[in-house]
Chain A
Amino acid sequence: MLYKDILVELRSKEILNGMLLFSLVIAVIFGFIFEPGSEELKTAGSGILWILLVFSGNIGLARSFNREYENAMMQGLLLCPIDRSAIFPAKWIGNMIFISFELLILIPLLVVLFDLPLGEHRLGLAAVLLLGVAGYSAVGTLFSTIAAHCRAREVMLPLLLFPVIVPILLAGVKASALLMTDAGLKEAGSWIKILAAVDIIFITASFLLYEHIVEE
């Protein structure tokens, strides 16, 4: 299942291309709002990064599920002789991989475009982003399945998703801002702990609730 999603994506590249171009467009808008290289940008850097992550992730999540429902793919999936509980992990990890991969391309681009300071603790920053992506795509996978059934699905997904992920956003922005400026490493650690705790709650809840919403 995971393999299938990645294969389809490798063939079409429509999710990744869409996400990347979308983030680039938003990044350009940020470029007009903030003076490049200014102090404002340095303090807002972590926020910009997370906004791009959330917005482009939203596009990727929506795409990944609409694809299943076009051509009644989901029906085929449910008819497959696999355990239904395998759908959620596969979808979740697939979405995680897409978003992480996108960040992998996006972050160097932001460094080039905005002279974004990443700070000394690159590994820590990567861990924070990965934690954020994990929680975000867990709830995102759950909600994009819900939104795919709604009439106004494009509007529904961000409406469902954004208020709920506030804790992930807060902890993530704070932790990465502290890491990027090399200030308050101890504080960053406590934010990472919150992020991890929120992740555990979200992932467990999504995992448990998912079986109630998969259907043809």
Chain B
Amino acid sequence: MKKSLVILAAFTYIGMTAALYAAFLYAPTERTMGEIQRIFYFHVPAAWVSFLAFAVVFVGGIAFLRTGKSHWDVLAYSAGEVGVFFLTLVLVSGPLWAKPVWNVFWTWDARLTTSLVLWLIFIVYLMLRSSLPGEKGARFAAVFGIIGFLDVPLVYMSIRWWRTLHPAPVLGGKSGSGLEAPMLATLMIALFGFTLLLILLLYINYKISRAEKDLELFDKEWRNGEI
């Protein structure tokens, strides 16, 4: 194993352990929501990290289309997979938190709907990738990833407008305003831990995808009797 990977893994371990400790033991119990509010420290960082991953898909896609170098494509694809993984965590942990607090699993508010649309877009991105192998698939997926990422702020804005222009029953906002200091500190630690986890997963996934690609190439050459 490479030294850099070991160091990265060690830091991620420390970061995530600190996040777990802070979320369950250090942070005070929220007054109205109770223990369930601790999901917050995983839900929000996972959302943040998935967004970061999709930004990597976007940047990787542009870089690939401009340079045509396959490592950008591998990076974008790995980021897409990791991003979908984290966003799935968000979409699972959200309803678990919402049911006891809002009394419903799901509400069609701007954030929730945008996350769902984003999730759909990037699931389709992965699907497109798997249905079109090779260089062509890489280019098409890059194009789709770019449009998909551009779409996210548009979806968010239009849904927010949709709701604010029409008075809809809002079942309570996020507890974003006026966080207590220990809670804010916990959130920051969790954000840090999750970002490290993202980098680690992305790194490993990238290496695996590269290796897969090399193996494919090797296999092809082997069959053709070039080796």
Contact = CB atoms under 8 A, between A and B. Distances in A.
The answer to whether A and B interact is yes
Interface of A: 139, 142-143, 146, 149-152, 156, 159-160, 163-164, 166-167, 170-171, 174, 187, 190-191, 194, 198, 201-202, 205-206, 209, 212-213, 215
A194 B147 contact: no
Interface of B: 65, 117, 120-121, 124, 127-128, 131-132, 136, 139-140, 142-144, 146-148, 150-151, 154-155, 157-159, 161-162, 165
Contacts of B158: 166-167, 170-171, 194, 198
Nearest to A170: B158
B143 A209 contact: yes
B120 A142 contact: no
Contacts of B144: 143, 146, 160
Contacts of A149: 132, 136, 140
Contacts of B117: 163, 166
A143 B121 CA distance: 13
A213 B162 contact: no
B160 to A, nearest CB: 10
B interface: dominant SS: helix
A189 to B, nearest CB: 12
Contact of A164 (B139, B151, B165): B151
A112 B30 CA distance: 58
Contact of B140 (A146, A152, A170): A146
8 contacts: A159-B127, A163-B151, A171-B158, A187-B165, A201-B150, A202-B147, A209-B147, A215-B136
A167 B136 CA distance: 28
B147 A139 contact: yes
Given A151-B131, A160-B128, A190-B165, 19 more contacts: A142-B143, A146-B140, A149-B140, A159-B124, A159-B127, A160-B124, A163-B120, A163-B148, A163-B151, A164-B121, A164-B151, A166-B155, A170-B162, A187-B165, A202-B147, A205-B146, A205-B147, A206-B147, A213-B143
